[in-house]
């Protein structure tokens, strides 16, 4: 009994110590909410930390940085309220959803002196016509990653190449209904935003034929597996791809020229914003070509900033894996919010495909 109470006392004392310590640390870093703060809600590791320092130095705002790992988690947190984020960076379909849920503030372009540096190809997209609520941050694609030890470049240029019987049990797919069904839809020459049930079922049957080639349907783990050469082929997003290519020089990324998905992560100001001025200052800062280039070099995603491209090293700028030629860009499609019942139809078909075994 005595031993027990000593143990409990020690644990409680330890907790108190940790609590005081963490409070002291956060006070030192000045994380108190004041007029001079910018509360930034971003994906993990999605900005060069040096840029945050630079922004703080140049503008005097203090940046409070919090991260999320999925659009849905971010949406729920902002919708439930109780937060005071001034700026967040959702993806395309989520911007449409947040717009419909009245969670976004319109953006006054006159306050953004660097707005004209953006490439017009990446503006005025279907999810936000006229960019009334969002400003592009990064963009990317869906494509195929292959390992040149096992796959030759000319064998893997189009979606249809994945269906070759040669690749039995060699392919990893990203666990996402929209992307994988979308891939089958493009392969059959349809839109990635198809709502026609017959076309969707046909796409699922096409996927079933791929089933024998599929080794696994996984999420973030694809990165590790491809780097370790567990599989020679995978379908995933360019952002993930750029991280893999950094760590294994045998890996290459292809965006099939017949079409694929283009995704956008755009900066938005949510309704919860308390420091709008700081938010505008930050958006404008990130649109500055030098800063955008530095950020693109650090994160490894493609920048939509035309002027920033000229500041990027030629090796990155001319990399067709991540900055595909205009002929390919023309065929890229952006996902539209299809509504709950269609999203479910996509997911049910995807589930059927997952259960299908050849």
Partner 1 sequence: MKQSKRFFMIPYFIWIGLFVIAPLVLILYQSLTNTQHQFTLQNYATYGTSTTYLHMSLNSLWYAFLITAITLLISYPAAYFLSKLKHQQLWLLLIILPTWINLLLKAYAFIGLLSRTGSVNQFLTFVGIGPQQLLFSDASFLLVATYIEIPFMILPIYNAIVELNPALINASRDLGATNWQTFRRVIFPLTISGVKAGVQAVFIPSLSLFMLTRLIGGNRVITLGTAIEEHFMTTMNWGMGSTIGVVLIVMMFIIMALTNDRRKKRREVNDDEEN
Q: Which residues bind partner 1 (CB under 8 A)?
A: 72, 169, 172, 175, 177, 214-219, 221, 225, 228-230, 340-341, 343-344, 347-348, 351-352, 354-355, 357
Whether the Cβ atoms of residue 145 and residue 256 lie closer than 8 Å to each other: no
Crossing angle of helices 197-210 and 340-355, rounded to 10°:
30
Cβ of residue 344: shortest distance to partner 1, in angstroms? 5
Cβ of residue 242: shortest distance to partner 1, in angstroms? 23
Closer Cβ to partner 1, 274 or 342, answer by number: 342
Smallest Cα–Cα separation from 144: which of 269, 259, 316? 259
| Cα radius of gyration (the chain) | 23
Partner residues linked to 263 by β-bridges: 140
Partner residues linked to 267 by β-bridges: 135
Cβ of residue 90: shortest distance to partner 1, in angstroms? 16
Whether the Cβ atoms of residue 41 and residue 88 lie closer than 8 Å to each other: yes
Whether the Cβ atoms of residue 248 and residue 226 lie closer than 8 Å to each other: yes
Closer Cβ to partner 1, 246 or 348, answer by number: 348
Half-sphere exposure of 233 (CA within 13 A, CB side): 23
Cβ of residue 95: shortest distance to partner 1, in angstroms? 17
Whether the Cβ atoms of residue 204 and residue 247 lie closer than 8 Å to each other: no
Closer Cβ to partner 1, 45 or 221, answer by number: 221
Closer Cβ to partner 1, 232 or 304, answer by number: 232
Closer Cβ to partner 1, 146 or 322, answer by number: 146
Residue 339 Rama label (left phi>0; alpha psi -120 to 50; beta):
left
Cβ of residue 210: shortest distance to partner 1, in angstroms? 13
Cβ of residue 73: shortest distance to partner 1, in angstroms? 10
Task: Report strand pairing: 134-147 vs 251-254.
Answer: antiparallel
Closer Cβ to partner 1, 177 or 267, answer by number: 177
- Contacts of range 51-54, beta carbons closer than 8 Å, 24 or more positions apart: 51/285, 51/286, 51/291, 51/294, 51/295, 51/298, 54/291
Output the six-digit token pair for 350. 């995807």
Task: Tell me how far apart the alpha carbons of residues 242 and 252 are, in angstroms, rounded to a whole number.
Answer: 9
Cβ of residue 150: shortest distance to partner 1, in angstroms? 12
Closer Cβ to partner 1, 55 or 353, answer by number: 353
Handedness of CA 69, 71, 72, 75 (dihedral sign): positive
Smallest Cα–Cα separation from 245: which of 143, 138, 92? 143
Cβ of residue 34: shortest distance to partner 1, in angstroms? 37
Closer Cβ to partner 1, 226 or 262, answer by number: 226
Cβ of residue 212: shortest distance to partner 1, in angstroms? 11
Partner residues linked to 264 by β-bridges: 139
Closer Cβ to partner 1, 215 or 252, answer by number: 215
């Amino acid at each position: 009994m005595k031993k027990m109470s000593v143990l409990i006392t020690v644990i409680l004392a330890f907790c108190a110590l940790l609590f005081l310590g963490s409070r002291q640390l956060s006070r030192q870093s000045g994380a108190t909410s004041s007029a001079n703060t910018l509360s930034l809600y971003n994906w993990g590791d999605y900005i060069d930390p040096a840029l945050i320092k630079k922004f703080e130095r140049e503008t005097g705002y203090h940046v409070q940085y919090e991260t999320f790992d999925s659009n849905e988690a971010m949406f729920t947190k902002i919708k439930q309220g109780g937060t005071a984020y001034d700026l967040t960076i959702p993806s395309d379909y989520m911007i449409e959803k947040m717009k419909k849920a009245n969670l976004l503030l319109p953006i006054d372009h006159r306050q953004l002196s660097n707005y004209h540096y953006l490439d017009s190809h990446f503006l005025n997209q279907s999810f936000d016509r006229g960019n009334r609520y969002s400003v592009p941050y990064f963009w990317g694609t869906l494509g195929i990653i292959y390992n040149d030890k096992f796959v030759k470049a000319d064998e893997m240029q189009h979606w249809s190449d994945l269906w070759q019987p040669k690749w039995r049990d060699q392919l990893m797919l990203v666990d996402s209904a929209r992307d994988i069904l979308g891939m089958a839809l493009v392969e059959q020459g349809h839109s990635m935003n198809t709502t026609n049930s017959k076309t969707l079922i046909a796409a699922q049957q096409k996927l079933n034929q791929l089933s024998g080639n599929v080794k696994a349907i996984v999420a973030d783990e694809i990165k590790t597996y491809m780097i370790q050469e567990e599989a020679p082929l995978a379908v995933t997003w360019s952002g993930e791809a750029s991280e893999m290519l950094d760590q294994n020089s045998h890996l290459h990324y292809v965006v099939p020229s017949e079409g694929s998905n283009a995704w956008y992560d755009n900066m938005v100001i949510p309704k919860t914003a308390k420091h709008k001025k700081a938010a505008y200052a930050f958006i404008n800062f990130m649109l500055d070509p030098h800063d955008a280039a530095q950020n693109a070099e650090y994160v490894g995603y493609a920048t939509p900033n035309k002027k920033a491209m000229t500041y990027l090293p030629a090796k990155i700028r001319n990399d067709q894996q991540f900055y595909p030629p205009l002929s390919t860009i023309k065929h890229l499609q952006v996902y539209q919010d299809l509504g709950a019942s269609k999203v479910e139809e996509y997911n049910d078909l995807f589930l059927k495909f997952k259960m299908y075994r050849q």
